[in-house]
């Protein structure tokens, strides 16, 4: 048995292998009306294909805790009970194929109200289903982006409650893993980084103050999420800024802190909070950040970022740089990546009876 196809247990949940699907927005939900934020046939087919392909854990796209928490008007939501049943259809199918369904619970903050990427991804106004974004500070993400509304302390408490309500609905929808989206410059990450958080109250300034919102969100979710099911946290380990941003040292410090608050695994990515930065992209370029967290803290990690080859993924796990592999674009290219990897590495992966003769 290879490392990549060894089951992995977190709390009382056993994930059948270490090939996991990272959250990736599909921008395919209705932007208005009674179907706003509701999963569609596209979402079902998209996630079902990866489950049939042998992926052990499938994390749905960033799913918003409120309408203004979406990245685009076309994102999935989990702020309304009416959004649960379509998600339940997906989780039931993933489980029927031996996989584990996970959900990324998210709020876009100042990076919300943008168009779909293939339409350019620019901010959109009310005439295109847009809204005024919110943030820890009234600082726009980039030139051409609107100045966000600075959240009051009462509004912050309201958003924390929205995360908890979203987790309750996620459980009702059948998800077995929940992940807090604290990466890529969205709301939780905006609070963490001094680049985007200019507050002078108890939510800004020191590391402890900037981490307060993340801790409150985690505590609120952990209070309603079952003790026997794991809770992940996706982190951007660095803003890739020379100064004035979130750093790898901050990430290591936060990992230890969040472990004590009930986070079971760090999904380690980078970037997204500062516009125009130069990122040294290449194969496995984010793996060293996962390795630091895994080897300097008690926090297990999953590595992500230009991991495309089975032997590459196996080496990352075997060398102790991560506990699991999260695939993004590679799973868009090949829904059956896990099956192909198992064949290459001499391992086995679940095969539906209908496909056995192949």
Residue 3 lies in a domain: no
Residue 103 lies in a domain: yes
CATH number of the domain within which 267 lies: 3.20.20.70
pLDDT of residue 1: 78
* Residues 103, 293, 255: CA angle, nearest 5 degrees: 60
User: What integer is the mean pLDDT of 295-306?
Assistant: 98
Domain with 24, as residue range(s), is 8-355
**The token pair that represents 299 in the structure block:** 């926090």
Sign of CA dihedral 214, 251, 274, 198: positive
pLDDT of residue 319: 98
- How would residue 350 be classed by pLDDT, with cut points 50, 70 and 90? confident
pLDDT of residue 120: 96
pLDDT of residue 34: 96
Q: What is the mean pLDDT of the chain?
A: 97
- Write out the DSSP string of 164-195: HHHHHHHHHTT-SEEEEEE-TTSHHHHHH-TT
Residue 45 lies in a domain: yes
Residue 2 lies in a domain: no
Q: Can you give the three-state secondary structure of 233-265, one letter per residue?
A: EEEECCCCCCCCCCCHHHHHHHHHHHHHCCCCE
pLDDT of residue 191: 98
Q: Label the pairing between strands 57-64 and 19-21.
A: parallel
Looking at the structure of the chain, the number of domains it has is 1
User: What integer is the mean pLDDT of 322-348?
Assistant: 97
pLDDT at 356 over 90: no
pLDDT in tens, 185-213: 999 999 999 999 999 999 999 999 999 99
pLDDT at 118 over 90: yes
pLDDT in tens, 6-36: 999 999 999 999 999 999 999 999 999 999 9
**pLDDT more than 90, % of the chain:** 98
User: What integer is the mean pLDDT of 288-313?
Assistant: 98
pLDDT of residue 263: 98
Residue 1 lies in a domain: no
Distance, C-alpha 248 to centroid of its chain: 18
pLDDT at 358 over 90: no
Q: Assess contact for 103 and 61: CB atoms under 8 A.
A: no
pLDDT at 50 over 90: yes
Q: What are phi and psi of 218, to 5 degrees?
A: -60, -45
pLDDT in tens, 217-226: 999 999 999 9
Annotated catalytic residue within 27, 47, 186, 350: 186
0.85 exceeded by the pTM?
yes
Residue 351 lies in a domain: yes
Residue 179 lies in a domain: yes
Rg (CA), the chain: 19
pLDDT in tens, 147-199: 999 999 999 999 999 999 999 999 999 999 999 999 999 999 999 999 999 99
**The token pair that represents 196 in the structure block:** 């985007």
* Residues 347, 350, 352: CA angle, nearest 5 degrees: 140
Contacts of 164 (CB under 8 A, 6+ apart): 220, 221, 223, 224
pLDDT in tens, 95-113: 999 999 999 999 999 999 9
Q: Can 186 be counted among the known catalytic residues? A: yes
- Residues 334-346 as b/e (b if ≥16 CB within 10 A, e otherwise) read bbbbbbebbeebe
């Amino acid at each position: 048995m290879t490392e990549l196809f060894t089951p992995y247990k977190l709390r009382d949940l056993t994930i059948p292998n270490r090939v996991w699907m990272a959250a990736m927005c599909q921008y395919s939900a209705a932007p208005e009306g009674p179907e706003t934020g509701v999963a569609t046939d596209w979402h079902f087919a998209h996630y079902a294909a990866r489950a049939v392909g042998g992926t052990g854990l499938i994390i749905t796209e960033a799913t918003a805790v409120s309408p203004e928490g979406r990245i685009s008007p076309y994102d999935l939501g989990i702020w309304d009970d009416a959004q649960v049943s379509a998600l339940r259809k997906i989780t039931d199918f993933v489980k029927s194929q031996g996989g584990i369904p996970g959900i990324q619970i998210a709020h876009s903050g100042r990076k919300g109200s943008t168009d779909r990427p293939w339409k350019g991804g620019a901010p959109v106004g009310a005439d295109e289903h847009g809204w005024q974004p919110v943030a820890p500070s009234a600082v726009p993400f980039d030139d051409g982006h609107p100045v966000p509304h600075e959240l009051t302390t009462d509004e912050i408490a309201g958003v924390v409650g929205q995360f908890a309500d979203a987790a309750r609905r996620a459980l009702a929808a059948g998800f077995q893993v929940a992940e807090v989206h604290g990466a890529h410059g969205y709301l939780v990450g905006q609070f963490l980084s001094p680049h985007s958080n200019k507050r002078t109250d108890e939510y800004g300034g020191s590391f402890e103050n900037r981490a307060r919102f993340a801790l409150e969100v985690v505590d609120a979710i952990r209070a309603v999420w079952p003790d026997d099911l794991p809770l992940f946290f996706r982190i951007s380990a660095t803003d890739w800024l020379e100064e004035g941003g979130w750093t790898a040292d901050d990430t290591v410090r936060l990992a230890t802190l969040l472990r004590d608050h009930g986070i079971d695994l760090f999904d380690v990515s980078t970037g997204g909070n500062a516009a125009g930065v130069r990122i040294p992209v290449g194969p496995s370029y984010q793996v060293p950040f996962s390795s630091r967290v895994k080897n300097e803290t008690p926090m297990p990690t999953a590595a992500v970022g230009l991991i495309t080859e089975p032997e590459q993924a196996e080496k990352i796990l075997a060398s102790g740089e991560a506990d699991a592999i999260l695939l993004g674009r590679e799973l868009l290219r090949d829904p059956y990546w896990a099956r192909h990897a198992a064949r290459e590495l001499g391992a086995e992966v679940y095969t539906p009876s209908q496909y056995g003769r192949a």
